[in-house]
Structure 1
Amino acid sequence: MYHLRGVTKTYRRGKASVQALDGVDLTIEDGGRLVIQGPTGGGKSTLLQMLGGLDRPTAGQVELDGTDLATLPEARLTRVRSESIGFVFQSFNLIPTLTAQENVETALVPLKLKAKDRRERAAEALGSVGLGERRGHLPGEMSGGQQQRVAIARALVKRPKVLLADEPTGNLDESMRDEIMDLLEGLWKEHGLTFVMVTHDSAIAKRAPRLATIRKGRLTVTENASA
């Protein structure tokens, strides 16, 4: 479970300061699903970075299962990210010279698993996203949708409890967008993940049971009874 209390993030830009988050309070239950929307520069990605321990707040607490990510020593924070949090990004972030199998295995290196275990888990993860027969292909030999499936497999191969996605369908056409969202929603239910996603796409936002709207660093959360 996430508990955010008074989370503020201020960036310095020369002599000026920009407040990306302004006293955000938020609770996300285990297994919950939340979509974050808002204008460009409103604080969406900054909030996701706080949830993932990729950045630290200027003030406030970001608790995951009672542990404040904002104050953890860097080594412990890295361990939490490696074990408990999976990330999916708009740009896929695959290594072009590695096969799909090898890209997925990279997520397991920090866990110090044996090579055999890494291979087996990566193959299983790729199978779960429908790419079992494409394990030996390079990213450049796959479509955008297939590359995003590899990225999803990489996020899930470490068996995290949290999945964070930043515009995961932003580079895809409408039909592929729907395919990827169906996949993500199915994996969320299957694995009991806590799933938080940033998107500009209102069609995607309508599918989520909870919607957080962030403007000028201030957050409003609404329940979506139709989702």
Structure 2
Amino acid sequence: MYTLTGVTKNYTRGKETVEALRGVDLTIEDGDQLVIQGPTGGGKSTLLQMIGGLDRPSSGSVELDGVDLASISEARLTRVRAEKIGIIFQSFNLIPTLTAQENVETALVPLGVKPSERRAKAAEALGSVGLGDRLTHAPSELSGGQQQRVAIARALVKNPKVLLADEPTGNLDEGTRDDIMALLEGLWREHGLTFVMVTHDSSIARRAPRLATIRKGRITLTEQQQQPRPQPQPAL
């Protein structure tokens, strides 16, 4: 479970101080699906970075299972990210010189997984997102939707507790967007993930059980349609 208390984040631009987050309080239960929406510059990506341990707040606490990501050492924070948090980006962030399988394997290297086991787990993860026949393809040989599926497999191969997605459909056409969202929602249910996503797309935001709207660094929560909480399943 996440508990964010009084989270602020300030950036300095020249002589100006920008308040990206202003005293955010937020609880995210295990197995929740939460969408964060808001205008450009409103603080939504900054909030996701706090949740993912990619940045630290200027003040306040970001607790995951009772561990404050804002105050632990950098080494421990890196370990928490490697073990518990999978992240998907709008730009895919694949390494162009590696195959799909090798890109997925990169998520397992910090965990000390043996090469043979890495290869097997990566192949299984790619199969779970419909790319079992694309293991040896480079990113340049894949469509945008296929590249995002590789990125999803990379995020899930380590069996994380939390899946974070920053505009995961922003570079995709409408049809591919719907396919990727169906895949993500299916994986959320299947694996019992805590799923937090940033999107500017209102049609996607309306599908989530919980919506956090953030404007000028302040958050408003809306409970939307009720969906059954997923039950955790065995690892990939």
Using structure 1 for the length normalisation, give the TM-score.
0.99
CA-CA distance at 1:14 after TM superposition: 1.2
Separation in 1, partners of 2:13, 2:7: 20
Give matches, 1:37-186, under 5 Å. Answer: 37-186=37-186
- SS of equivalent to 2:108: helix
- Is the contact between residue 121 and residue 157 of structure 2 (CA under 8 Å) also seen in structure 1? yes
Separation in 2, partners of 1:113, 1:107: 10
Separation in 2, partners of 1:30, 1:41: 28
Q: Which segments of 5 or more consecutive residues in structure 2 lack a partner in the other structure?
A: 228-236
Q: What is the identity, as a one-letter code, of the residue corresponding to 1:48? A: L
CA-CA distance at 1:102 after TM superposition: 0.3
Separation in 2, partners of 1:107, 1:226: 33
Q: Which segments of 5 or more consecutive residues in structure 1 lack a partner in the other structure?
A: none
| 1:1-54 superposed Cα distances (whole Å, 9 cap, x missing partner) | 000000000011111100000000000000000000000000000000000000
CA-CA distance at 1:82 after TM superposition: 0.4
| 1:181-217 superposed Cα distances (whole Å, 9 cap, x missing partner) | 0000000000000000000000000110000000000
- SS of equivalent to 1:6: strand
Q: What is the identity, as a one-letter code, of the residue corresponding to 1:161? A: K
Separation in 1, partners of 2:166, 2:225: 24
Separation in 2, partners of 1:141, 1:181: 22
Q: Please, what is the CA RMSD of the aligned residues?
A: 0.7
- SS of equivalent to 1:19: strand
Separation in 2, partners of 1:192, 1:44: 24
Report the count of equivalent residues. 227
Separation in 2, partners of 1:207, 1:127: 26
Q: What is the identity, as a one-letter code, of the residue corresponding to 1:216? A: K
Segments of 4+ moved more than 6 angstroms: none
Match of 1:27 in 2: 27
CA-CA distance at 1:225 after TM superposition: 2.3
CA-CA distance at 1:67 after TM superposition: 0.3
Match of 1:208 in 2: 208
